[in-house]
Amino acid sequence: MSTLSEAYRDFPLHLHHIIPLDFNSTRAVPESHIWPNSDDLISSHDHPSLPVIDLNDPQVTQLIGHACETWGAFQLVNHGIPLNLLKDAESETRRLFSLPTRQKLKVLRAPGGTTGYGIARITPFFAKYMWHEGFTIIGSPFDHAKQLWPHDHAQFCDVMENYQKKMRILAERLTKLIFESLEISEEELIWVDSTTALQLNSYPSCPDPNRALGLAPHTDTSMLTILHQSSISGLQIFKEGVGWVSVMPIADALVVNVGDLLHILSNARCPNVLHRVLVRERHRLSMAVFYCPPMDFNLVPVAKSGQAPKYRSVTEKEFISIKAKHLEKALSFIKL
Ligand SMILES: C=C1C[C@]23C[C@H]1CC[C@H]2[C@@]12CCC[C@@](C)(C(=O)O1)[C@H]2[C@@H]3C(=O)O
Ligand SMILES: O=C(O)CCC(=O)C(=O)O
Ligand SMILES: [Fe+2]
């Protein structure tokens, strides 16, 4: 097994855990999409906010290291990704989700597949459905784009391929800075064969935003994730001792968060930050790039001197399989 797609092939989903609601023809939130404890969805405002880091800051290594160890996330400015690429990617994302439902269903994710249109993979673990539709790209989106726009797919493909390429370079740069600050020695293997998955997210306009949820609380199955959110708020991260903290959209900034794989590799020094997405009356978009080492990469926890390893070593593919079956309980299976 060598690719991300292959890693998920053994865990096919039922179609009702893939096909989104037809949001265009839904006037009220159906029972299936109403989440209990909706009080918890109203966020408070008097709490610290996520650090904002300038990639050109002379202290950037320490700043990023500290943010990863305390919050497991930060906002990044001056990241070097061309701003018109962010804009183009967002507008291509909008073009995709604006298509009629029957058109989007042509590129529905296969039950054992990873790429294409559908709801979040984590859906089967929750009693309620999320107010969300997604489109996952790994490598070239050509085959799907050609089905969506038989004569007009070049722009979508160019933008999405370029976006992945640039984000991968940024993810590598950030990973190197984090490794340097945590004193994790680099293994060549990581830089050569790492993969990225690009997840386009759409949270349709919701008639009753306080009772629905865009994405249920989850951690990402990645080394790190680089997210671009549109100007509409909704993302929240859970901070130990504080609670749910909203990540306020900053124009042109990127949100970077620690995933499960860096959490393991850092011997739990970096929290794999739990996050969720609230919905709004207005349509919200986001684009997430999941940066993952090669599938047979062996995650060996690197402890600070004098500390014992908290997890046993595990290959990425083994961890992905455990997580596909057990979701948030996955880490308890490798705990020492
Ligand atoms: C590389 C990845 C990361 C995946 C699976 C695969 C492709 C799609 C990603 C997401 C995107 C939406 C949230 C999430 C929780 C989901 O359900 O699908 C993510 C998941 C993970 O982080 O586990
Ligand atoms: O839409 C967002 O702000 C977050 C998306 C997310 O958490 C994900 O795609 O894993
Ligand atoms: Fe996420």
ipTM of this predicted complex?
0.98
Q: Is 317 in the pocket of ligand 1 (CB under 6 A)?
A: no
Separation of CA 308 and ligand 1 centre (Å): 30
38 φψ region: left (φ > 0), alpha (ψ -120 to 50), beta (else): alpha
CA distance 316 to 8: 12
pLDDT at 235: 97
- Any idea which ligand is nearest the CA of 213? 2
Give ligand 2 pocket residues (Cβ under 6 A): 199, 201, 215, 220, 227, 229, 235, 275, 277, 286, 288
With both helix axes pointing from N to C terminus, report the angle between 154-182 and 83-97 in degrees, rounded to the nearest 10.
120
Q: What SS3 state is found at 290?
A: strand
| pTM for this model (two decimals) | 0.96
Helix ranges, the chain (H): 4-9, 60-70, 83-97, 101-104, 142-148, 154-182, 188-193, 260-265, 316-326
Identify which of 121, 200, 289 to mutate to test ligand 1's pocket (most ligand atoms within 8 A of the CB).
121
Instruction: Say how far apart CA 113 and CA 17 lie, in whole Å.
Output: 12
So what's the pLDDT on residue 22?
Answer: 92
pLDDT at 125: 97
- pLDDT mean values, one per 10 residues, the chain (336 residues): 79 92 90 83 71 98 98 98 98 98 96 95 96 97 97 97 97 96 80 89 96 97 97 95 93 98 97 97 97 93 92 96 95 97
Both tokens assigned to 214: 């865009």
pLDDT of residue 45: 62
Q: Are 280 and 203 in contact (CB under 8 A)?
A: yes
CA of 288 to the centre of ligand 2 (A): 6
Nearest to 206 by CA among 280, 116, 117: 280
Q: Any idea what DSSP says for residue 214?
A: S
Q: DSSP strand E in 222-283: where?
A: 224-229, 235-239, 243-246, 254-258, 275-277
What is the pLDDT, as a whole number, of residue 189?
Answer: 63
How far is the centre of ligand 2, averaged over its atoms, from the C-alpha of 272 (Å)?
A: 14
Q: Contacts from 308-313 at CB under 8 Å and sequence distance 24+?
A: 308/336, 309/267, 309/336, 310/267, 310/268, 310/335, 310/336, 311/264, 311/267, 311/268, 311/335, 311/336, 312/336
Q: Which long-range contacts (CB under 8 A, 24 or more apart) does 90-94 make?
A: 90/228, 90/230, 90/285, 90/287, 92/155, 92/156, 92/159, 92/160, 93/135, 93/200, 93/202, 93/285, 93/287, 94/285
CA–CA separation, 235 and 124 (whole Å)? 21
What gap in Å lies between CA 96 and CA 99, rounded to an integer? 6
- Bridge partners (DSSP) of residue 200 are 135, 287
Of 121, 269, 276, 284, the active-site residue reads 284
Written as six digits, the tokens of 183 are 């004193």
Angle at which helices 60-70 and 154-182 pack, to 10 degrees? Answer: 90
Cα(222) to ligand 1 centroid in Å equals: 9
**Whose atoms come closest to the Cα of 214: which ligand?**
2
Residue nearest atom 1 in ligand 2 by C-alpha distance: 286
Q: What is the pLDDT of residue 2?
A: 59
CA 214 – CA 229 distance, rounded (Å): 13
Active site residue 284: yes
CB–CB of 47/163 below 8 Å?
A: no
Residue with CA nearest ligand 2 atom 9? 288
CB 209 within 8 A of CB 281: yes
pLDDT at 44: 58
Determine the residue of 13, 93, 117, 122 to mutate for testing ligand 1's pocket, defined as the one with the most ligand atoms within 8 A of the Cβ atom. 122
pLDDT of residue 246: 94
